[in-house]
């Protein structure tokens, strides 16, 4: 039903319109007086409004008020309330730089994604499902990032050759024949030792795949009377299952490639590239160096087989108006000419190791009761086994120092 008749100018029944739940019928009457425009919010001591005059001469001091309207204060009269902590400076907040080390170890990488130790991505701000290498949080409000250490394996490639040591060939053949039942069905011979024809071997791992049996082992060093961990010997039998009389079809040897091309010490210099920090050396004559974060100069190979390169403590400094944030770091090592250094040894890895062993650089417990007293860690551990995907001998290590800008309460040491 319309509230109006057909006369568009007739508003006689407009008061029947229910507006805002009959607000206008219930609201208190508005106090409109003739002098309201002359009043201001400030009252005198008698709770009377001060008048606003043409020259704006208003008495702002209403400290004698009794109506709790508040008090006007000039800026110079304002005093901070007492803080809970009374040992703070007038500048309550203080900015400072907190230094942390970012430590990156390629042994923590997912080898299925990053087989090359010189080409990988670090995720900062990871979850349980983030592939390694990763760091649990991102770095924000970064003032500077500085390279502290870069440690690379001096010989970073594995090579495979055929060995012709007759006594060693006889020794492994006799071991296979004598233990064929175990080798066909179980792992009882892991970490076993065997001596024959003046040779002693230490069994690392064995497996059958595609009708071919393969066994890896160390040879005893006659000087130290201990396993020679620098060389992995391997025997291959093409006919399975094994019997009491087998023919070894291949005798292989795996060790580090001594070719100068694969030795860090022999390089002129190397380039560290971080995609998130390009052109840190933009005044270089070389296009590739211009896009690098740091230039790395090799030293002598140390007794462990590693090279500690000199990066001259290269850093990247950010302006306070444009601080850095890092969620990822894509790291590459290039040679002096700008070519990617190839540290991918995946074709030499023993991928037949069980998943939790090949995906971890931790030592594996030796369960063989005949040898675990002298060798608590299994021979197939990454610390010993060169063909392990995460072999300790073939990992890179980087240390950066990052300075993050933080804010704290600016406290006095002594009040």
Q: What is the mean pLDDT of residues 205-231?
A: 95
Give residue 128's pLDDT. 83
> What percent of the chain is predicted at pLDDT more than 70?
79
pLDDT at residue 188, rounded to an integer: 96
List of long-range contacts for 207-215, beta carbons under 8 Å, 24+ apart: 207/352, 208/184, 208/240, 208/241, 209/352, 211/238, 211/239, 211/240, 212/236, 212/237, 212/238, 212/240, 213/176, 213/183, 213/237, 213/240, 213/242, 214/352, 215/172, 215/176, 215/183
User: Do strands 119-124 and 306-309 pair parallel, antiparallel, or not at all (unpaired)?
Assistant: unpaired
Report pLDDT for 286. Answer: 94
C-beta separation of 53 from 35 below 8 A: no
Mean pLDDT of 6-32: 56
Position 24 scores a pLDDT of 54
pLDDT of 87: 72
Residue-wise pLDDT tens digits, 42-51: 555 555 555 5
- pLDDT band of residue 83 (cuts 50, 70, 90) is low
User: Is the alpha carbon torsion for 195, 196, 198, 199 positive or negative?
Assistant: negative
pLDDT tops 50 at residue 176? yes
Average pLDDT of the chain is: 86
Provide the pLDDT confidence category of residue 322 given band limits of 50, 70 and 90. confident
Which residues does residue 93 pair with via DSSP β-bridges, in sequence order? 409
Q: What is the pLDDT of residue 37?
A: 47
Q: What is the pLDDT of residue 139?
A: 92
Is the predicted pLDDT of residue 84 greater than 80, yes or no? no
Residues 342-371: pLDDT tens digits? 999 999 999 999 999 999 999 999 999 999
pLDDT at 22 over 60: no
The whole-number pLDDT of residue 11 equals 57
The pLDDT score that the predictor gives to residue 126 is 86
Residue 349: per-residue pLDDT = 98
Q: What is the pLDDT of residue 34?
A: 47
Residue 28: pLDDT above 80?
A: no
pLDDT band of 127, cuts 50, 70, 90: confident
Position 304 confidence tier, pLDDT thresholds 50, 70, 90: very high
Taking residues 225-254, report their average pLDDT.
Answer: 96
Give CA–CA dist 175/194, Å, rounded.
7
pTM of structure: 0.76
Q: What angle do CA 354, 355, 358 make, to 5 degrees?
A: 85
Per-residue pLDDT for 10 more than 70? Answer: no
Whether 30 shows a pLDDT value over 80: the answer reads: no
Is 232's pLDDT higher than 80?
A: yes
| Predicted pLDDT of residue 218 | 98
Q: Is the pLDDT of residue 60 over 70?
A: no
pLDDT confidence band for 35 (50 / 70 / 90): low
For the chain, the domains span: 1-79, 103-156+262-346+393-409, 158-256+350-388
Q: Specify the pLDDT at position 156.
A: 97
How many whole angstroms separate alpha carbon 231 and alpha carbon 376?
Answer: 20
Tell me the C-alpha distance between 143 and 306, whole Å: 32
* 48 vs 408, higher pLDDT: 408
């Amino acid at each position: 039903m319309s509230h109006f008749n057909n006369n568009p100018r007739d508003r006689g029944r407009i008061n029947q319109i229910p507006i805002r739940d009959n607000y206008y019928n219930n609201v208190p009457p508005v106090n409109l007086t003739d002098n309201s425009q002359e009043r201001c919010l400030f009252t005198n001591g008698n709770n009377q409004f001060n008048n606003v005059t043409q020259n704006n001469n208003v008495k702002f001091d209403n400290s004698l008020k009794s109506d709790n309207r508040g008090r006007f204060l000039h800026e110079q009269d304002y005093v901070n309330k007492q803080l809970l902590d009374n040992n703070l400076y007038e500048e309550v907040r203080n900015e400072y730089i907190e230094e942390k080390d970012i430590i990156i170890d390629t042994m923590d990488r997912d080898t299925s994604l990053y087989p090359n130790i010189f080409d990988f991505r670090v995720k900062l701000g990871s979850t349980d499902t983030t592939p390694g290498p990763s760091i649990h949080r991102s770095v924000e409000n970064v003032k500077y990032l500085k390279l502290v250490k870069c440690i690379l394996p001096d010989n970073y490639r594995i090579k495979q050759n055929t060995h012709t040591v007759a006594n060693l060939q006889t020794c492994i053949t006799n071991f296979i024949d004598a233990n064929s039942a175990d080798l066909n069905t179980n792992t009882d011979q892991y970490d076993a030792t065997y001596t024959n024809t003046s040779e002693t071997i230490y069994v690392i791992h064995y497996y059958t795949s595609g009708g071919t049996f393969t066994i890896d082992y160390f040879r005893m060093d006659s000087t130290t009377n201990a396993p020679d961990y620098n060389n992995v010997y391997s025997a291959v039998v093409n006919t399975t299952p094994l019997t009491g009389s087998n023919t070894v079809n291949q005798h292989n040897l795996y060790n580090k490639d001594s070719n100068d091309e694969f030795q860090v010490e022999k390089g002129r210099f190397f380039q560290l590239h971080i995609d998130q920090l390009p052109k840190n050396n933009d005044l270089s004559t070389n296009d590739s160096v211009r896009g690098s974060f740091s230039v790395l100069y090799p030293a002598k190979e140390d007794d462990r087989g590693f090279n500690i390169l000199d990066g001259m403590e290269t850093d990247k400094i950010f302006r306070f108006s444009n601080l850095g944030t890092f969620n990822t770091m894509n790291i590459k090592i290039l040679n002096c000419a700008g070519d990617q250094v190839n540290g991918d040894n995946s074709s030499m890895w023993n991928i037949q190791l069980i998943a939790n062993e090949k995906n971890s650089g931790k030592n594996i417990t030796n369960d063989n009761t005949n040898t675990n007293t002298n060798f608590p860690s299994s021979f197939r551990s990454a610390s010993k086994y060169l063909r392990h995907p995460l072999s300790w001998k073939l990992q890179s290590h980087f240390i950066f120092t990052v300075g993050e800008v933080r804010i704290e309460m600016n406290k006095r040491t002594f009040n």
